[in-house]
Every structure is written in C-alpha cells, then in structure tokens.
Structure 1
Amino acid sequence: MTEKNSLLIHKIEINNCGGFRGSHELEFSTDPEKNITVIQAESGRGKSTSFQLIYWCLYGEFFKPQSNTTLDDEGLINLPSLNELQLGKKVTGSVSLTVNDENGELYVLTRSATATKLRDENGKKFDRLNNSRINSGIQIETDCKLRLKDEKEGGMFTERDDSLINAEIRSYLPKDLSDFVLFDGEKLMKFQNSNDSKAIIMDGIQKLSGLPVVDSLIESTAYTKQEIKKLVARKTGGADGEALARALQDVQDDIADQEKIRETNKGLLSENRIRYNELQEIMGKTKAGKDVQGRINKKENEVKTLKKLQNKINDEIKQFLFKNVPYLLIRNTLLESQKDFGRLEELQKIPPSITSEGIDKLRNALTCVCGRDFEENDEVWDELGRVKETIIDSDMVSSISQGRGLISQIVDQSNPEKIRQRYDELEDHEIDITRQLKITKTELAELYEERRTLPSSGTETYEQLDKKSRDLFNGIGKIQSKIDDAKEQLLNLEDDKTNLNKKYEEAVSHGEKFQDDKDKVTILNAIEKLSKAKRKEISDILRDTAEKATNEYFMMSAPQKEEFDKVMITSNYDILAVDENENTKLTSMGQSHVLGLSYVFGCRSITEKNTFLFIDSPLHNISGEFRNEVAEVLAKYLPNVQIVLFVTDTEYTSGPLGEIPVRDILKPTNKIWKEYAIELCKTDDGNTTRCFKEMK
C-alpha cells in the first residue's frame, strides 16, 4: 500500500464499565512488523463489550443502541456498582484511549458517565446515556475531555468543550468511516449472498463519498417542497383545499409505512438466508454430503436459470401481443384504405410526384422530358403552365405517398398467418421451458430426499437439518412475498402521489395569487434535480474505485483464487465474484468471508490515512477449514496495519472437528504482538470483575 500517515490506538483504560469493575488497562501493538493483537474470551465474557466501549469513547454513541422498551439492565456503567449505589453517592464509568500517529502520542481521549442516586426508588426507567434500564432514582451525566498537543505554545493542554472535541476527533476519524476502523465481523456472513451484502456495500460507499450530506439536502428539499404544497393547498380555500392537503400528507405517511415494512423484512430475509446457507454448509461436511450438496447447488442454479427464462419468454409474449393486437384490430380498415388508394390511382386522382420547381426547369430549358424542343409561349409551353397550376405542394404529395407506404407495411406486419406462426413459436418455447422447469424441480426434490436420508455428521440427523432447511426456505419465500407486496404498494402510492401533485398544479395554475409559492417550489425542484444528478455521479466514481481496490485484494488473497477472474460491484451494489465470461460463481463460506474482508480492505485503501482496524468476531460462524483460510489472509495481506482481533476461544484456540486451531496458523507468521484473555478475577476488595491477562 502507498505510504500514509498512521493512526493507532496505543492503549485503552476501562474503569467501572460493562463487566469491568475497577480500573483495567490494555495495550495494543504499535509495531508495524508485529501488527496483530488478539483479545480472546469465552462467549459472554466481555469481548464485544471491550470492542463497543472503544466505539463509545471515540464517538459518544453506542455501537448497538437499545430501544426504550428493552428489558436489559446491563449498560455502560458496571451493573453491580450501580445496584450498590447508596443515596447521595456517585459512581463513574469511564474509558480512556491513547491515540498515536507515526511520531508518537497524538492525544488522550477520556469519556465518562457519572451516576448519582438522588432518591430511593423501586421502579426502573430506560436511560439512553447508560443504554439500559436503571433505577428510577438514579440520574446519569456524561463528560468528555481531550488532552492534545498545543501547536502554538508546545506541550499538552486539555480541551473540555464537547463540540470542539468531536470536531477534533472526527477530523481524524469521521464517524461515517467507523465501519472501516471498527468492523463487526458478523457482517461478513452477509457476503455469502449478493442480496444480503448489498446494503453493506451501498452504505459503505455512500459514507466514503460523503453522500449522507447530499442525501440530507435532497430530503430537506423534498420535505420543504411538500410542506409548501400542503400550505398552498389549504390557501385554495374550502373543503377541497383541506382535503387535498390531508391527501398529500396521508400519501406521504403511507409511503413511509410501506418503506418501513420493506426494510424490516429485508433485514429478516438477510438473517434467514445466512442461517439457510449455514445449514447448507453443515449438511455438506461429509464426503457424501458434499457430493449431494454439489448436485443440489447445480440443480438449484438450473431452477433459477429456467425461472429467468420463463419470465423472459412470458414478457416476450406480452410484448408481442401488445404490439400486434392493435394491428389485427385495424387490419380490415387498412385493407379497405388500400383499395381506396387503388381506385383513386385508376381515376388519376392521386397527384403526380412532380414539383412546381421541376416544371420551371423544363420551361426554362425549352426541352421536354422526351427530348423534343419547344418554344416560349407555344402550345407545349402553355400546357406545362396549366400543369404547374394543378400541382399540390410537394410535402403533401410526399405525405400521401408515405401514408400509403405505411399502410402497406402495417398490412404486411398484421398478416394473421405470420402473427399466428410467431405466437405459436413463442408459446411452444414457453411450454418447453415450463416442462423442463417441472422436471428440474422434481429432480431437485429427489436430491433433497436423498440428502435427508444421509447419516448425520453431528448431533442432528440429516432429516432434522433438512426440515430446518426447508422451513427456512419456505420462510424466505414468505418474507420475499411481503417485500414484493410492499414494493407493489409503493408503486401504487407513487401513482397516487403523482395524481395528487397534478391536482395541486391545477389548483395553483390560475392567476398570480400563488406565484411566490410556485416560484419556491420551482427553485426547490431544480435543487433536488441537481443534487440527485451529482449524487449519482459521485456514487458511480466511488463505486468504481471501491470495485478496483476490492478486486485487487480478493484476487491476491482468496482461497482457490484461480477459480475467479475478478470482482464486480454492479450499479445496484451487488458484489459478485465472476469467471472470465463474467458468470457469477458461487463462493464457499471462507471465500465469502475473504470477499467481505477484501471490500473492507479495499475501501480503507482509498482513504487518506492508514488507520487501525479492530474486528469483532472475524471468524464467527464458519467452520475450521474456512476459518484458517481467513486467518491466513489477515496475517499475510495487511502489512503495516494495526490489527486487533476480538475472538472467542472456540474461534481461536480450538478445532472442534480436528482442524488446526487458528492460533497455530497465526503464531508462526510472527505477526502476533500479544494475546490477551478476558477472565474472571477479584478486585482488591474481593468483588468479581472481568480482567485482561496476557496468554502464555
């Protein structure tokens, strides 16, 4: 990678936060050669808490904010310390980060939350500053301070103004780029399916390009424009004006509701697809399972291809009928028109295809078209003059000729035999595809049955796994139907919105009464149009750049990379690994994880700084074989990047099915600086806490 200014987290200090009671300190590697630090813990021991505390300290927001309906009592401040709080007493939870650049310490950021027990209460309330329920008698206040270099006087000084602190931090680490420095490894599961990863790709590229600012402008413009329209609708007076204003508001509310339904179900769809893919991986672990799973994958792809062909041929039939039915309906009329043209031609009622300019040329040349000469004012001269007076305008003559030709073309195209022949061809093609689809589905069902009867490779039988798989598959179909219904509702609502806007235009179209408001809407329309155009332009540039960078990392690091030709990010934000013919190839779970990491690495490479990369659960939910492939990528292909991996013990130090543990893959690379385990310990006063201990 090109040389960039580095940004590293040298140290974190945690005091009374999460499961950490008292003060705890942890150092991370700043060595560009030994650039990986590992933090391991049993599930639920505090691994993700540590990761999320770093995010909270940097941005003053929670990585996963709870809703006010949560029943969770564990939040930011250590729960036992909160529960033991006496009336009038306080407890403070804080996190400090020491941030370095290539020259050493850059600043120390400390963010804290202080809980004070003001009243003895039995009830509980949700507190957003603690991100949990707390006792109703407790009040929480937050504070922040930043120790940084004094560029003018030298030395260090402390800043306490929140807005100045946030401005300073975000100049180095913009919140929109947080996904590329503090990455949730569970998102890697979504790269198994382009539909599931689409939202991650779109969100990342938009944040990199600063598009949220443009989106805010577009949304504000659209909102202001809509409010002006409702105001003007009311100004028109009477019940009609009020009804129009209400209708404009109602359609906006309905659109928002349907968009929420669509997005909620997209999330459910993504989760079910990930679980379905996990089951497919589990069911394919034995040799027999791999064989039948390979045949199932092939047959499922055949079903998808045939469904696409079926949709395509059905569309062709619809378009064919849409085009030719009108021709058939007017065919008899056009045939009669052809007869009329013939009769008019026989009666010499159709004007000759000669212009008045042509007659003038003959008279000036004093030579007939047959070659015979004549003289001015003789009999031939006079006859040509009379012909000139009867000539119709040349454009009209041409139009008559063109109209006759067009009628002939339509009559030819509307020949019932030709139409029937082509329709029969399309129908036969559709019947063949439908028959083949039915056969392929039957073969697929037989493969499912074969897989169901395979011996178990774990605690569950293939029959049990198969039932779960089928239930998920059916659930995916139902969720997709809800998404499709929401899309259809949105299309109908957009039509309603268009009709209401037409009524609005009609209501304000007369007179100068609403001219000022109309001018405002015109200006807002222009701003909205320009903003959308610029948004697309910026998005396309960043998408292309991210594609190139992602492709570079994937083709360099992917397991069995020779199977692929390149990575593509489409205009719809699908990320696809394709062969030399640009056919999408299925990726294994390990390859999918590497594809996701390549996207993260690629996006990081186009930013201005070489920032740290902390990943929570990078090896989550993938089997040992694929896990080791991903571990090799992390060790080999990110030199000079400060990497901190937050892993579970099952991810890191064990191979449940006999695979080599990830630790044994990483240690020989000589990239590991230190390994820490989060364990249960005792404080000096005998209380239980979590603590960091270096692994041996």
Structure 2
Amino acid sequence: MILKSLTLQHFRQFYGTQKLTFGANEDGAVTVILGENGRGKTGIYRAIIFGLYGEQKLEQDSNDANVTLANTKALQADFEGVKKGVEAKVMIEFQHTGVNYVIERSLLSIMDESGNPVERVQKVTLTNLDSKEVYEDEMIVNDWMDNILDRRVKGYFFFDGERIERLTRASVEQRSEISSGIKNLLKIDHLVKARQVLVHLQKQTIKQLEKHSTGDYKKCLQEKVEIEDKLDAFARKKEDLLSYGSQQDHQLAKIEKDLTRYEGKMSEFDKRAEIEAQLEKEEQEAEYAFRRLQEFNSKLPYMLAKNTLYAVKSQIDAYLGAEIEDVSISIDLVENLLNDLTCICGDTFKKDSSQYQALQSLKKAAGYKLEKAEYFDLKANVMKLIGFLEDKENQLQHLLEQLEREQQEVEDLKVKLDSLNRKLKETKIDDLYRLNKEREEVYENRIKVKYQLQELEEQVHELHSAKEQNELALASLKVKSGVHKQLVEKQEELEKAIVAMDKLLQEFEKDVISELESLSTQNFKYLLDENGQRNIKSVQVEDDYSLEVLNVYNHPFLANISQGQRQVLSLSFITALAQVAGGNDTLEMPLFMDTPFGRLSDKHQNNLLDFIPNVCSQWVLLVTDREFSLTEQEQFINSGQVGKFYKLISEEASTTKIQEQTLEMVGGIV
C-alpha cells in the first residue's frame, strides 16, 4: 500500500476541510510533519486508522479513555446552534499492487444535553478508481482492507516515543509487548480456535470416559481434568498479571513525568534512577551467575566420588608397593643390554659390576610393571579423574564466590535505594511526597508482579510434570480397565491432534522469532556506531519474550549498553516487526514514527535517517521543534529523501492548520 493523500473534514483538531499528500519513492519517500505536542500529529495517524479500518481508538488508548474524533469547535458551534450534529469525515487515496483506490469513512457526532459527545460511524465507501467499482457494505469493505493490510499487524507501522522507550526497559510490559507482537505476526487465529475446539471435545470425551470407568483409571481421568483446568486457570492468571504489570509500567512513566516538575530535587531523583539502573544490571549479573551455577549441577554427583578415588589410589599404591619405581623402559631392551654386557652409551661392563646390578634392578622393576600393567593403568586413570574433579572444585568455588559477590552487591544497592527513598519521603513538599509515595508503591507492585510470574512459572512446570506422570499412569491402566474402546480411541486421537497442533504452533513461532532476531541484528548492526558494532554481536528474543543482546563473547550484554544504544535496539526491533509484518525487504506500507529521536547520538541519528528510507516505501515522521533542529533539517536536505514537509500551526483552541512548506522555510530560512 502506498498512501497518496489524506483529506480531513472536522476531524480531531482539524477544523473544516484540509488535505495533505504524501511523499513517494519517485519524489522522496519521507513525509515530515512538524508540530508541538497537542497540535494533531497523532491525530493524523488516528485518521489513517479510522479511515482504513473504522477503529475509533488506537492501541495506546486505555480501554476507559473517551476519545472524541469530531472537532470540538464544530461540535460546540452545532450545540449552540441547530443541534443537527457534526459529520467528521476521512478520505484516503492509496495505491495497492498498481491499482488506485479511495476509501471514505464518516461518523456523526452530536453533544447530548450534558455537553458530552455521542458518536457513531455513519458511512463507508471504497472505490476502485481504475475500474470504477464501488463498495458500500461495511463488512465487504473491511474484508478488502484486511486483505490489503491485516488489521492484526497494523500496529507495527506506527510507533510513538513512549512505545519506543517501553521496548528499552526490561519490564513485564516489554515482554508483553514483544509476546503480543510475535503472536499477532503469526496470524493463526483460526488455528488457535481450532485447538480450543479440540481441547473442548477432549474434555467432553474424558467426562464420558469417567462415566464408563471405575477404580484407579477413573481417578486418573479425574486428575487429568483437574490438571488441565489448573493449567487453564494459570494461563488466565498470567494474562491478568501481565496486564496489571503493563498498567503499573504506564503509571510509573506518568509519575516520572510529573516528578520532572520538581527541578530542585532532580539531583536526588537522578541518583535514584542511577541506583535503580545499576540494581537492574546487578540483578541480571546475579541471575547470569546463578544460571552458570545451575549448569554446574550435572557435575556435582561426580565430585562426591573424589574421596573414594583417593581411597582407591591408596589401595593401589599399597598393592604395588611404594619402593617399586614406575619405569617406562622396555624389559626386552634391558635383557639385550644384560646379554651384550654393553650399556646404552656403548660402554662395556662385567657381570659383577655395579652397572650390571643396576640393570638387574631395572629389569626387575620393568618386569613388575609389565606384570602389574593393568594396575598401573588403573592408577593413571584414577589420577586423571582426581585432577579433573579438583579442577571442577576450583571452578565451583569461583562460581560460588562470584554469585556471593553479585548477591551482596544487589543487597548493598537495595539498602542505598531504601535509604534514598526514605530521604525523599521526608520532604515537606506535599505533591512531591505524594508522587514519591505513589512511585514507591508502583515500583513495589512491579517487583511483586515479577515474583508472582516467576512463582506461576514454577507451578506450571510442576503441573506439566504431574501431567506427564498422569499420562503414563493412564496408559498403564487403560489396558487393565476394560473401558469403552471407542471412547478411548477418540480421546487418544484428540490428544494426538492437540499435541501435533501445539508442535506446529511452536515451530511456527520459533521460525518467526528466528526471522525477527536475524532482522533485528541486521538492523542493529547498521544503526550502531563503530564502537557498538565492535562490542555487540547479536540480538536475541529470550524464552520469556524479553530482548537481550550478546557481546562478541556470546555473553548477555543488555545491562551494559547505553540509553542511546537501548533506543537504537528498540528501533531495530520495531523495524524488524514491520519488515516481518510487511513480508518484504521493502515495506509496502508507510511506517509512521512519532518523536523517535529522543536519546539518539548524532551518529545513531544519521544512521537512522539513512536506514529507514531504504527499507520502507514511505516514512511519515512526526516530530517536534526540539527534535527537528537545524542539524536534522540539514541531514534531511542532504539525504534528498524528503518528498513532503508540513507544519501544524495552532490558530486557536481546538483548531490546527496544516501548512505545506519547504525545508528551507523552517526556522525563518527562505
């Protein structure tokens, strides 16, 4: 899909009828829309989503948010006048696979007696401009649009600064965001519903089996149902926890924004943020040390054999005799020397000489070793094992000391954090005290969610173990029970179908994650500066859907990268999501980004400006004056990628004017 133009009528801040056209590849793929916060930058994207899909809310809107799409100035004028309502309209002209279309969608908005807007979608029309075909049935139009760009993945073509920032945090919300993105990219709604039907049929079949069963087999069937019910309950609880954790992350971001008003105390807030970041890093390091220690568990049983091996060595030494030296010379060689009465060096000797006696002793020792060769080999192997175990003991001691250091560092940082929180709590500024208290509560809630999720994962793991034991018991009892054969076969076939479907889903998800990791790494490498490229090897999506980066030694490195690098990581993953959703190296859908340059260095920003236009057919960039300084203007002019440039100008309350300009006009340059 290539956007050609957007026409707005009484939509959001845009009073009256206003139009903008979008840059395309032949004239420049980038459209820059400059405006301060509240001027309508996101409103333009909101108009795109409403026009294409009829959706009145964006993903970032809360469920209870009251979003009014009609222009409030027009609404107020209607309320004070004829009270017929206001028609808000969006018209989008676009091209898809070489065919030109225009979609027009409108809603009627009217204020009730209390002054609250009431809105409902009124009409939608999709017109094929080439064939002149017109579709006005909403279901048909929506099906058309889903075939052009599936609504499940539309969210991966718009990213605001908050969402970009969110992906840089190792939080419940980050994992939820990534998990949601991956599952939406899979587009397997029907497959998931089919699995749910199979599970339902299986439960019904098991209940029928219960009625025809007795004794231990019936108990095992009841246990199977209980385990499955618990797993379902835990899955719902996990979703609830993830949702609650997401709410807490949003609340924390809001409080942090409110706290910035208290500049006099900012040094202490900065210090707290620094300690929290360091604490997060140390907790990750401690977790890594603990995982390494866990990996050592498989070697612990062997280490118990060390004392036994020393006892075996002592027994072998006693048997061989300490006075017999371990010799490596051949007995045949010694016998030849005795027979020839000639030393290896060529000197001759007599039978009664000291040389002769020494060779006789050597012959005896060599003969003894040959006779006891198996014991000497056993002793050598025992010594190797002892050496191996002593080396592992040293490794274990090193790992234990490392874990102890990391855990102690975590505890020390927690003490510092508690002390600083108490200090901030004692402030006399009421609002600051309240915000600080709220922040502390939200921070604690986030920690609780983290640990509750960990406990839940452990319980799920235990249930899966119980499920395996239950299935083994059922398989054993099935033969003895003599239950209805048809029901057993039906239950078994349903079980096989569910297992096969789960495997299919897992493999599909694994493939999508692999593609995301590959593209994210490729994008990240491109966007990083030279120093980052030297230190960072790849991007990974962990089992819990968190993002991780590996350094050149394949060690987890996310805790060590800068804030700017974190934002580059986020943008790399976001772009990878869009690339996978688009299905092509060059995205056939405009990529919208709202204030993406927050903490980027000049080098990272230059790389981004060079990178995005090369991977998407259109880039619509929503920026503020602070982000679009003379430096950025010069970069865009030099790139030659800007096809259209607009400035959003506020003329009065609730009204914004879209003015097309050239980059040379920005900042008074004509």
Question: How high is the TM-score relative to the length of structure 2?
Answer: 0.66
1:679 touches 1:692 (CA, 8 Å); kept in 2? yes
What is the aligned partner in structure 1 of residue 553 from structure 2?
581
Alignment pair present for 1:550 and 2:545: no
Distance, in Å, in 1 between the alignment partners of 2:66 and 2:274 is 47
Using the TM superposition, give the Cα deviation of residue 37 of structure 1 relative to its aligned residue in structure 2, in angstroms: 1.1
Distance, in Å, in 1 between the alignment partners of 2:255 and 2:168 is 11
Secondary structure of the equivalent of 1:45? coil
Secondary structure of the equivalent of 1:112? strand
Alignment pair present for 1:24 and 2:55: no
1:638 is matched with which residue: 603, 606, 613? 613
1:550 touches 1:598 (CA, 8 Å); kept in 2? yes
2:39 is matched with which residue: 36, 45, 48? 45
What is the aligned partner in structure 2 of residue 615 from structure 1?
592
Distance, in Å, in 2 between the alignment partners of 1:631 and 1:34 is 17
Using the TM superposition, give the Cα deviation of residue 478 of structure 1 relative to its aligned residue in structure 2, in angstroms: 3.2
2:509 is matched with which residue: 528, 539, 544? 539
- Alpha-carbon distance change, 102 to 110 in structure 1, aligned in 2, over 3 angstroms: same
What is the aligned partner in structure 2 of residue 651 from structure 1?
627
Secondary structure of the equivalent of 2:192? helix
1:626 is matched with which residue: 590, 597, 601? 601
- Residue type matched to 1:20 in 2? F
Using the TM superposition, give the Cα deviation of residue 643 of structure 1 relative to its aligned residue in structure 2, in angstroms: 0.7
1:217 touches 1:531 (CA, 8 Å); kept in 2? no
2:570 is matched with which residue: 596, 602, 627? 596
- Alpha-carbon distance change, 68 to 580 in structure 1, aligned in 2, over 3 angstroms: closer
What is the aligned partner in structure 1 of residue 454 from structure 2?
484
Distance, in Å, in 2 between the alignment partners of 1:671 and 1:421 is 64
What is the aligned partner in structure 2 of residue 261 from structure 1?
240
1:530 is matched with which residue: 500, 503, 510? 500
Distance, in Å, in 1 between the alignment partners of 2:276 and 2:83 is 67
Using the TM superposition, give the Cα deviation of residue 525 of structure 1 relative to its aligned residue in structure 2, in angstroms: 1.9
1:147 is matched with which residue: 114, 127, 135? 127
- Alpha-carbon distance change, 45 to 19 in structure 1, aligned in 2, over 3 angstroms: same
Distance, in Å, in 2 between the alignment partners of 1:61 and 1:677 is 26
- Alpha-carbon distance change, 246 to 218 in structure 1, aligned in 2, over 3 angstroms: closer
Distance, in Å, in 2 between the alignment partners of 1:428 and 1:567 is 31
- Residue type matched to 1:581 in 2? Y
RMSD: 5.5
1:164 is matched with which residue: 140, 149, 154? 140
Distance, in Å, in 2 between the alignment partners of 1:40 and 1:443 is 46
Secondary structure of the equivalent of 1:23? strand
- Alpha-carbon distance change, 442 to 551 in structure 1, aligned in 2, over 3 angstroms: closer
- Residue type matched to 1:613 in 2? P
Distance, in Å, in 1 between the alignment partners of 2:302 and 2:103 is 68
- Alpha-carbon distance change, 247 to 630 in structure 1, aligned in 2, over 3 angstroms: same
Distance, in Å, in 1 between the alignment partners of 2:438 and 2:601 is 23
1:32 touches 1:641 (CA, 8 Å); kept in 2? no
- Alpha-carbon distance change, 234 to 12 in structure 1, aligned in 2, over 3 angstroms: farther
What is the aligned partner in structure 1 of residue 230 from structure 2?
251
Using the TM superposition, give the Cα deviation of residue 496 of structure 1 relative to its aligned residue in structure 2, in angstroms: 7.5
- Residue type matched to 2:650 in 1? L
Distance, in Å, in 1 between the alignment partners of 2:282 and 2:464 is 36
What is the aligned partner in structure 2 of residue 368 from structure 1?
none
Distance, in Å, in 1 between the alignment partners of 2:14 and 2:619 is 23
- Residue type matched to 1:100 in 2? Q
Alignment pair present for 1:226 and 2:203: yes
1:194 touches 1:575 (CA, 8 Å); kept in 2? yes
What is the aligned partner in structure 2 of residue 97 from structure 1?
92
- Alpha-carbon distance change, 221 to 671 in structure 1, aligned in 2, over 3 angstroms: same
Distance, in Å, in 2 between the alignment partners of 1:553 and 1:308 is 26
Using the TM superposition, give the Cα deviation of residue 147 of structure 1 relative to its aligned residue in structure 2, in angstroms: 0.5
1:610 touches 1:641 (CA, 8 Å); kept in 2? yes
1:46 touches 1:690 (CA, 8 Å); kept in 2? yes
1:146 touches 1:160 (CA, 8 Å); kept in 2? yes
Distance, in Å, in 1 between the alignment partners of 2:302 and 2:562 is 44
- Percent pairwise identity: 15
- Alpha-carbon distance change, 579 to 251 in structure 1, aligned in 2, over 3 angstroms: closer
Spell out, residue by residue over 1:498-536, the C-alpha distance to the aligned partner (whole angstroms, 9 max, x if none): 799899999998888755544443332222222222223
Secondary structure of the equivalent of 1:61? coil
1:568 touches 1:578 (CA, 8 Å); kept in 2? yes
1:261 touches 1:483 (CA, 8 Å); kept in 2? no
Q: How many residue pairs were aligned?
A: 563
Distance, in Å, in 2 between the alignment partners of 1:616 and 1:578 is 27
- Residue type matched to 2:622 in 1? F
1:190 is matched with which residue: 150, 163, 166? 166
What is the aligned partner in structure 1 of residue 9 from structure 2?
15
- Alpha-carbon distance change, 112 to 302 in structure 1, aligned in 2, over 3 angstroms: closer
Secondary structure of the equivalent of 1:638? helix
Distance, in Å, in 2 between the alignment partners of 1:204 and 1:438 is 34
What is the aligned partner in structure 1 of residue 51 from structure 2?
57
The equivalences for 1:404-483 within 5 A come to 432-433=401-402, 436-437=405-406, 440-441=409-410, 476-483=446-453
Spell out, residue by residue over 1:273-310, the C-alpha distance to the aligned partner (whole angstroms, 9 max, x if none): 98999999x99xx99x9999999978975664345435
Using the TM superposition, give the Cα deviation of residue 483 of structure 1 relative to its aligned residue in structure 2, in angstroms: 2.2
Using the TM superposition, give the Cα deviation of residue 148 of structure 1 relative to its aligned residue in structure 2, in angstroms: 0.6
Secondary structure of the equivalent of 2:510? helix
Distance, in Å, in 2 between the alignment partners of 1:28 and 1:21 is 20
- Residue type matched to 2:5 in 1? K
What is the aligned partner in structure 1 of residue 533 from structure 2?
562
Distance, in Å, in 2 between the alignment partners of 1:116 and 1:466 is 41
What is the aligned partner in structure 1 of residue 655 from structure 2?
689
Alignment pair present for 1:75 and 2:75: no
Distance, in Å, in 2 between the alignment partners of 1:584 and 1:422 is 26
Question: How high is the TM-score relative to the length of structure 1?
Answer: 0.64
- Alpha-carbon distance change, 528 to 79 in structure 1, aligned in 2, over 3 angstroms: farther
- Alpha-carbon distance change, 92 to 244 in structure 1, aligned in 2, over 3 angstroms: farther
2:647 touches 2:659 (CA, 8 Å); kept in 1? yes
Spell out, residue by residue over 1:379-410, the C-alpha distance to the aligned partner (whole angstroms, 9 max, x if none): xxxxxxxxxxxxxxxxxxxxxxxxxxxxxxxx
Task: Please say which of residues 464-473 and 579-588 is displaced more in the overlay.
Answer: 464-473
2:3 touches 2:95 (CA, 8 Å); kept in 1? yes
- Residue type matched to 1:145 in 2? T
- Alpha-carbon distance change, 474 to 180 in structure 1, aligned in 2, over 3 angstroms: closer
- Residue type matched to 2:14 in 1? F
Distance, in Å, in 1 between the alignment partners of 2:60 and 2:297 is 52
- Residue type matched to 1:691 in 2? K
What is the aligned partner in structure 1 of residue 335 from structure 2?
none
Secondary structure of the equivalent of 1:629? helix
